[in-house]
């Protein structure tokens, strides 16, 4: 039985003659022979065990603190969801997705994060643009580069399982080369855990995931080769977008030189993470991931030795790529969600 019976505090006695019809009274103290031990002052606990005192003072306080901590740990994401109107997002936690014993294992990092990176295909007035994007909420929010979707009349994203979905541009920030997309009615998407870029060090192992040349879910690895590089990119709508044939690449300036074409008159500069992980046209907007499986940057620019050549077949990564720090991305999310189009 699942029910329990609550006692009222009285004591039950079995009739010595076993006659339930005849009431039986417990012997009075006067009738008890003197050699008998006196009855206990309080009724013994069921089962004969000693009655435990209820903890009080510091012990109770510690238990309450533990319960509160557990409630915060388990309920923060839900509370944020209710207050913000968004499902659980990657910014709610920076918990590593790769076990400590597998830290730095590229295969484990790739298996954990590949489902969180998509291919982005934008239709432009001048052609098309192919890039990548990182899922940041399980209800369909995707971060990518502004230059991938700038001037797009329509956008589609393709997940690692080959599913193609229509997305809309929610907000853009050309000054940081960031954009936020949303896949309507999405379900079953896996948000990437966003880490922090403030603790990144030169020499750290990193993994890049994206869709170079439309090759979805391509994984490369390397190290962080420099920090806080001043990278200047164009903010002109549609300038240098990555076409289907791969001839065009996103122009940027670094160290006083222009790469991949003319950046134009309207530019913006940001501090970037430099990496030697192989980046190629189509990696823009993809994830740069640390050894614990957390996103630390959004890949945004790469230098190709064939950028000035007439044929894209000569183009390729030479180990000089740049990513927007994830701390910049997280700080910009609220603005992008609000529909900013700056």
What does the alpha-carbon distance between residue 107 and residue 132 come to, in Å, rounded to a whole number?
20
Handedness of CA 91, 92, 98, 101 (dihedral sign): positive
11 is catalytic: no
177 is catalytic: yes
Separation in Å, CA 180 to CA 38, 81, 102, 140, 174: 80, 18, 32, 10, 12
What does the alpha-carbon distance between residue 106 and residue 73 come to, in Å, rounded to a whole number?
29
What does the alpha-carbon distance between residue 94 and residue 81 come to, in Å, rounded to a whole number?
17
15 is catalytic: no
Helix (H, G, I), strand (E, B) or coil at 291: coil
Token pair of 25, please? 């009274």
Which residue is catalytic, options 87, 138, 139, 177? Answer: 177
Which residue is catalytic, options 92, 116, 147, 236? Answer: 147
What does the alpha-carbon distance between residue 284 and residue 287 come to, in Å, rounded to a whole number?
9
Which residue is catalytic, options 132, 211, 284, 300? Answer: 284
Handedness of CA 103, 107, 109, 112 (dihedral sign): negative
**Residue 116 CA, distance from chain mean position:** 9
**Which residues, at least 6 apart from 158, have a Cβ–Cβ distance to it below 8 Å?**
118, 119, 121, 164, 165, 211, 216
Residues marked as catalytic: 147, 177, 284
């Amino acid at each position: 039985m699942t029910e329990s019976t609550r006692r009222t505090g009285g004591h039950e006695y079995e009739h010595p003659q076993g006659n339930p019809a005849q009431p039986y009274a417990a012997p009075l103290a006067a009738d008890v022979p003197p050699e008998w031990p006196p009855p206990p002052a309080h009724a013994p606990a069921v089962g004969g065990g000693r009655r435990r005192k209820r903890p009080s003072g510091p012990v109770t306080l510690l238990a309450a603190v533990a319960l509160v901590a557990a409630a915060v740990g388990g309920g923060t994401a839900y509370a944020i969801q209710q207050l913000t109107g968004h499902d659980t997002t990657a910014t709610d936690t920076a918990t590593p997705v790769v076990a400590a014993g597998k830290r730095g294992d590229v295969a484990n990092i790739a298996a954990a994060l590949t489902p969180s990176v998509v291919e982005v295909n934008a239709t432009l007035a001048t052609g098309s643009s192919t890039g990548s994007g990182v899922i940041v909420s399980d209800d369909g929010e995707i971060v990518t580069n502004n230059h991938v979707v700038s001037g797009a009349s329509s956008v589609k994203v393709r997940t690692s399982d080959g599913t193609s979905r229509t997305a809309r541009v929610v907000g853009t920030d050309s000054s940081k080369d960031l954009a936020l997309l949303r896949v309507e009615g999405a379900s079953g998407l896996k948000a990437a855990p966003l880490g922090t870029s403030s603790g990144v060090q030169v020499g750290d192992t990193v993994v890049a995931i994206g869709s170079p040349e439309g090759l979805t879910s391509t994984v490369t690895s390397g190290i962080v080769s420099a920090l806080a590089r001043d990278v200047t990119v164009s903010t002109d709508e549609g300038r240098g977008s990555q076409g289907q044939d791969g001839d065009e690449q996103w122009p940027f300036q670094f160290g006083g030189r222009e790469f991949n074409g003319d950046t134009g008159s309207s530019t913006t500069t940001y501090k970037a993470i430099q990496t030697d992980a192989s980046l190629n046209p189509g990696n823009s907007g993809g994830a740069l991931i640390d050894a614990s499986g957390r996103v630390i940057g959004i890949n945004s620019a790469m230098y190709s030795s064939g950028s000035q050549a007439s044929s894209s077949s000569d183009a390729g990564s030479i180990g000089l790529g740049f990513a927007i720090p994830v701390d910049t991305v997280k700080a910009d999310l609220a603005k992008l969600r609000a529909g900013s189009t700056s």
